[in-house]
């Protein structure tokens, strides 16, 4: 049956992160310099490594005034600047960022006002009633998990941004240059408004009451023109990536509110109650470095180096730190300038990068404003957030010399470490607390968990790109002692020659899946963080790339089936019984040959609706187009896994339709199951929604 979609493409993004204080990365070539006992200019923090490893400590320093901060930046920059700026081949910084297509937006007031003129608005918005309907906040609000399914998140109470949001009354969709609001309280879904947001390509949203934040990376200018004497090279604005936070107001007719542009790119975000923490990174792209005409000519390279050193010497703090611009709904500029107070910026002693990682804390109960911001100079990879703390994982600095010989590459695999930095979260922003490190690399945010004053980290030895026969996975327990995250204990002997494919922490246990040819599921006891132990394991073909607790002693796994030699054969959903932790069992599984599921890399595509025991998993097949859609499975301990139905949004055999009608999100509102695809993202047609977009769960 053909089904109209209402959603957007999967926004794939590797989240890096930071928060209000400071963070630093480990240098794997040499031990980092010990910091001075104190600083004449500010306070010094020391990040210690695990107790049972050689010290790879780094210092994190704050400054009492802007002059001290600028001097520290310049000193570090002068040591590293060369004929090609900082990208001189002397070191290589591995950094993973989200990549999107950008369309230039010069931010002119005329352009913003045009977006909201009556002629420019779609007819659906002009036909809205002049009087605003009753605010949804004033009504009795449906309850997430009872009346509707929200975003599938890692930690209860910590919301994650997504491309679709609902409050049980409205479905809000982030599509191509539009935010669309659909009222689903009646017999028929009704589009109540659309808000035009230029440069929006399925960007993520955070949602609280009647205020929504659209978080995206755009391209354009933030700074005003600099006409100061002696700054000719920087006397014009430059186009650069921007973190753009767009406020959408949902009380009454949906409409755009304020817009905040910050130099940098969006990385990740979390919201706790009415407070949002938005993580971004910024590179000083507008310094004005020159490049030698003939790189092979020593004289030409020397002249370029000298010119670039002069650029550093003449630079101002605003050249290094992100600037911001706050724009009202009518296009007028409300505020602009430097986003950061100097006291909120910290620098590491191993100054390996001039990229700034920062966090914005934004009040979702008030009109969008500048927010509270903190930052540091460091690279990052991913984040974990509890209701009280934020943990940031940072990348190591890798020099090209480490790849020149087999011995050096082997040494790198042996010594590779991951740094972790802890920050407290509150309505007043993020504050740096402590740092530490563990051997090896982490898979994703699910590798981390905070419980009972301890922080648990699952890691595989070696680099993220070099799993070999000597690889092994561990869970480390850490605790904060002063400004250090100290290693309390570690438990290993998991997955020899394999790497971690998924992790899930449930109460005082961890469940770890590794894979190379078969899928060992390990059950790890964390009840005593000082004496953790592996209780049992289960080996089955294939792997689970995502684990989800179903309540009681049941866990669902979504991943792939495989032969005994590790060749992938199709998508697989497993049901595990862990009531006996020493002997976990697979009760049942459902395999769809020649297919895969987006859940493997995006947990937000997974839906478990406990009241109906319904598990919904999007699938796509590389051989059978009839298997492109969403599996609706009934999952029960006594009955195992059974198919309730396959939902498809298009029956065409056309390859393009296979793509645009891929189901990416599923949600439940009342007794209705909604399946959402990215077709409307391509067509921009939200004028109507067919009734068969919604299915009664009892009749699935």
Q: What is the pLDDT of residues 18-29, one digit of tens each?
A: 233 323 333 332
Q: What's the confidence (pLDDT) of residue 658?
A: 67
User: How far is 600 from 561, CA to CA, in rounded Å?
Assistant: 12
Q: Which of 55-64, 76-85, 245-254 has the lowest mean pLDDT?
A: 55-64
**142 vs 680 pLDDT, higher one:** 142
- How confident is the prediction for the chain on average, in pLDDT? 79
Q: At 366, is the secondary structure helix, strand, or coil?
A: coil
User: How far is 257 from 266, CA to CA, in rounded Å?
Assistant: 19
Confidence category of residue 422, pLDDT binned at 50, 70, 90: confident
User: How far is 442 from 674, CA to CA, in rounded Å?
Assistant: 34
**232 vs 55 pLDDT, higher one:** 232
Q: Which of 56-70, 106-120, 358-372 has the lowest mean pLDDT?
A: 106-120
Look at residue 363 and tell me whether its pLDDT is greater than 70.
yes
User: How far is 189 from 4, CA to CA, in rounded Å?
Assistant: 12
Q: At 691, is the secondary structure helix, strand, or coil?
A: helix
**621 vs 54 pLDDT, higher one:** 621
Looking at residue 443, what DSSP letter applies? -
Confidence category of residue 681, pLDDT binned at 50, 70, 90: low
**237 vs 648 pLDDT, higher one:** 648
Q: At 97, is the secondary structure helix, strand, or coil?
A: coil
Q: What's the confidence (pLDDT) of residue 392?
A: 84
Q: At 458, is the secondary structure helix, strand, or coil?
A: strand
Give the rounded percent of residues in the chain with a pLDDT score beyond 90.
Answer: 48
Q: What is the pLDDT of residues 116-135, one digit of tens each?
A: 222 332 322 323 333 334 44
User: Region 245-250: what's the mean pLDDT?
Assistant: 96
Confidence category of residue 656, pLDDT binned at 50, 70, 90: low
Helices H / strands E in the chain, number of each: 8, 44
User: How far is 172 from 290, CA to CA, in rounded Å?
Assistant: 46
Confidence category of residue 100, pLDDT binned at 50, 70, 90: very low
Tokens of 505: 């922490």
Confidence category of residue 291, pLDDT binned at 50, 70, 90: confident
Q: What's the confidence (pLDDT) of residue 26?
A: 34
User: How far is 169 from 697, CA to CA, in rounded Å?
Assistant: 17
Tokens of 6: 């209402």
Q: How many Cβ atoms sit within 10 Å of the Cβ of residue 367?
A: 13
Look at residue 540 and tell me whether its pLDDT is greater than 80.
yes
Strand order in the sheet with 448-451: 382-385, 389-394, 417-426, 429-439, 484-494, 473-481, 454-460, 448-451
Q: What's the confidence (pLDDT) of residue 169?
A: 94
User: How far is 365 from 131, CA to CA, in rounded Å?
Assistant: 23
Q: How far is CA 438 from CA 21, 55, 597, in A?
A: 21, 11, 31
Sort 622 into a burial class: Cβ within 10 Å, 0-12 / 13-18 / 19+: exposed
Tokens of 214: 């659209």
Range list of H helices, 253-322: 298-314, 317-320
279, 18 in Cβ contact below 8 A?
yes
Contacts of 485 (CB under 8 A, 6+ apart): 48, 420, 422, 434, 435, 436, 455, 478, 479
User: How far is 68 from 242, CA to CA, in rounded Å?
Assistant: 27
Q: Which of 70-84, 309-323, 405-419, 535-549 has the lowest mean pLDDT?
A: 405-419
414, 400 in Cβ contact below 8 A?
no
Q: What's the confidence (pLDDT) of residue 133?
A: 42
**302 vs 107 pLDDT, higher one:** 302
**2 vs 434 pLDDT, higher one:** 434
Q: What's the confidence (pLDDT) of residue 432?
A: 81
**512: which strand partners?**
503, 522
Q: What is the pLDDT of residues 140-183, one digit of tens each?
A: 788 888 999 999 999 999 999 999 999 999 999 998 888 989 89
CA 610 centroid distance within chain? 27
Tokens of 250: 């949902």
The top-scoring range by mean pLDDT among 190-194, 316-320, 507-511, 559-563 is 507-511
Tokens of 669: 């509102």
User: Region 58-63: what's the mean pLDDT?
Assistant: 71
648, 625 in Cβ contact below 8 A?
no
Inter-axis angle of helices 66-80 and 298-314, to 10 degrees?
170
Q: What's the confidence (pLDDT) of residue 687?
A: 44
Q: What's the confidence (pLDDT) of residue 500?
A: 95
Confidence category of residue 108, pLDDT binned at 50, 70, 90: very low
Q: What is the pLDDT of residues 405-420, one digit of tens each?
A: 777 777 778 888 888 8
Sort 188 into a burial class: Cβ within 10 Å, 0-12 / 13-18 / 19+: exposed
Phi, psi of 551 (to 5 degrees): 100, 150
Look at residue 669 and tell me whether its pLDDT is greater than 90.
yes
Q: What's the confidence (pLDDT) of residue 566?
A: 82
Q: What's the confidence (pLDDT) of residue 285?
A: 80
CA atoms within 13 A on the CB side of 231: 16
Residue among 451, 418, 448, 461 nearest 436 (CA): 418
Q: What's the confidence (pLDDT) of residue 87?
A: 58
Phi, psi of 328 (to 5 degrees): -80, 170
Q: How far is CA 120 from CA 116, 127, 196, 200, 330, in A?
A: 6, 13, 9, 17, 14
Look at residue 237 and tell me whether its pLDDT is greater than 70.
no
412, 1 in Cβ contact below 8 A?
no
621, 594 in Cβ contact below 8 A?
yes
User: How far is 237 from 235, CA to CA, in rounded Å?
Assistant: 7
Q: What's the confidence (pLDDT) of residue 221?
A: 80
Looking at residue 27, what DSSP letter applies? B
**287 vs 510 pLDDT, higher one:** 510
Q: What is the pLDDT of residues 311-356, one digit of tens each?
A: 999 999 999 999 999 999 999 999 999 999 998 888 876 777 888 8
Look at residue 99 and tell me whether its pLDDT is greater than 50.
no
The top-scoring range by mean pLDDT among 171-175, 231-235, 693-697 is 171-175
Q: Which of 158-162, 284-288, 394-398, 457-461 has the lowest mean pLDDT?
A: 394-398
Q: What's the confidence (pLDDT) of residue 187?
A: 85
Cα angle for residues 610, 613, 614 (degrees, 5° grid) = 100
User: Region 63-73: what's the mean pLDDT?
Assistant: 93
Task: Output the pTM of the full model.
Answer: 0.81
**246: which strand partners?**
214, 259
Look at residue 280 and tell me whether its pLDDT is greater than 50.
yes
Look at residue 44 and tell me whether its pLDDT is greater than 80.
no
Q: What's the confidence (pLDDT) of residue 661?
A: 77
**DSSP-based helix, strand, coil % in the chain, nearest 5:** 15, 45, 40
């Amino acid at each position: 049956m053909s089904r109209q979609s209402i959603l957007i493409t999967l926004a794939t993004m590797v989240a890096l992160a930071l928060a209000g204080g400071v963070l630093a990365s480990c240098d794997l070539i040499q031990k980092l310099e010990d910091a001075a006992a104190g600083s004449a200019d500010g306070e010094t923090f020391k990040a210690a490594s695990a107790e049972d490893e050689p010290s790879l400590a780094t210092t994190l320093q704050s400054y009492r005034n802007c002059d001290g901060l600028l001097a520290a930046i310049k000193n570090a920059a002068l040591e590293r600047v060369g004929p090609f700026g900082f990208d001189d081949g002397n070191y290589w910084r591995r950094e993973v960022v989200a990549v999107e297509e950008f369309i230039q937006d010069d931010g002119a007031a005329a352009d913003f006002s045009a977006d909201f003129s009556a002629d420019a608005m779609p007819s659906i918005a002009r036909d809205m009633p002049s009087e605003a309907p009753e605010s949804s906040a004033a009504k009795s609000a449906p309850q997430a998990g009872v009346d509707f399914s929200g975003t599938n998140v890692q930690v209860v109470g910590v919301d994650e941004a997504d491309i679709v949001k609902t409050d049980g009354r409205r479905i809000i969709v982030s599509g191509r240059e539009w935010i669309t609001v659909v009222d689903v309280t009646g017999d028929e879904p009704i589009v109540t408004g659309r808000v035009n947001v230029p440069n929006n390509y399925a960007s993520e949203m955070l949602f609280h009451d009647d205020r929504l934040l659209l978080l995206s990376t755009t391209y354009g200018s933030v700074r005003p023109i600099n006409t100061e004497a002696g700054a000719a090279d920087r006397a014009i604005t430059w186009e650069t990536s921007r973190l753009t936070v767009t406020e959408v107001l949902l009380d009454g007719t949906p409409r755009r509110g304020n817009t905040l542009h910050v130099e940098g790119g969006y990385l990740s975000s979390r919201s706790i109650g009415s407070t949002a923490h938005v993580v971004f990174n910024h590179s000083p792209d507008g310094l004005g470095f020159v490049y030698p005409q003939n790189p092979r000519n020593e004289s030409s390279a020397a002249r370029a180096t000298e010119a670039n050193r002069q650029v550093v010497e003449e630079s101002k703090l605003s050249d290094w730190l992100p600037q911001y611009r706050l724009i009202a709904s009518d296009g007028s500029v409300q505020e602009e300038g430097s986003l950061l107070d100097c006291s909120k910026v910290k620098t590491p002693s191993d100054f390996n990068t001039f990229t700034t990682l920062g966090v914005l804390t934004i009040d979702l109960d008030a009109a969008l404003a500048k927010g509270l911001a903190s930052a540091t100079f460091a690279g990052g990879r991913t984040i974990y957030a509890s209701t009280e703390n934020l943990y940031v994982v940072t990348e190591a600095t890798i020099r090209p010399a480490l790849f020149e010989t087999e011995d050096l590459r082997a040494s790198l695999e042996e010594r590779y470490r991951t740094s972790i930095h802890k920050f407290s979260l509150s309505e007043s922003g993020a504050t740096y607390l402590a740092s530490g490190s563990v051997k090896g690399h982490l898979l994703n945010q699910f590798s981390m968990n905070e419980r009972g004053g301890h922080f648990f980290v699952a890691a595989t030895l070696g680099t993220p790109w070099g799993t070999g026969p000597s690889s092994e996975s561990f869970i480390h327990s850490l605790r904060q002692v002063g400004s250090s995250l100290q290693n309390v204990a570690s438990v290993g002997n998991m997955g020899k020659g394999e790497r971690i494919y998924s992790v899930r922490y449930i109460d005082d246990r961890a469940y770890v899946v590794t894979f190379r040819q078969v899928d060992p599921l390990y059950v790890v006891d964390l009840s005593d963080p000082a004496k953790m132990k592996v209780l049992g394991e289960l080996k089955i073909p294939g792997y689970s790339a995502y684990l989800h607790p179903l309540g009681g002693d049941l866990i669902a796994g979504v991943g792939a089936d495989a032969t005994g030699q590790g060749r992938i054969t199709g998508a697989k959903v497993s049901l595990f019984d862990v009531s006996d932790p020493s002997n976990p069992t697979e009760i049942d599984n459902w395999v769809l040959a020649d297919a895969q599921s987006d859940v493997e890399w995006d947990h937000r595509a997974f839906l478990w609706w406990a009241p109906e025991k319904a598990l919904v998993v999007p699938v796509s097949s590389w051989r059978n187009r009839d298997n492109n859609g969403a599996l609706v499975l009934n999952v029960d301990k006594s009955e195992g896994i059974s198919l309730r139905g396959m939902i498809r949004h298009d029956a065409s055999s056309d390859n393009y339709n296979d793509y645009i009608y891929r189901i990416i999100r599923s949600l439940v509102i009342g007794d209705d199951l909604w399946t959402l695809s990215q077709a409307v993202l391509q067509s921009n047609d939200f004028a109507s929604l067919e009734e068969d977009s919604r299915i009664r769960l009892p009749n699935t």
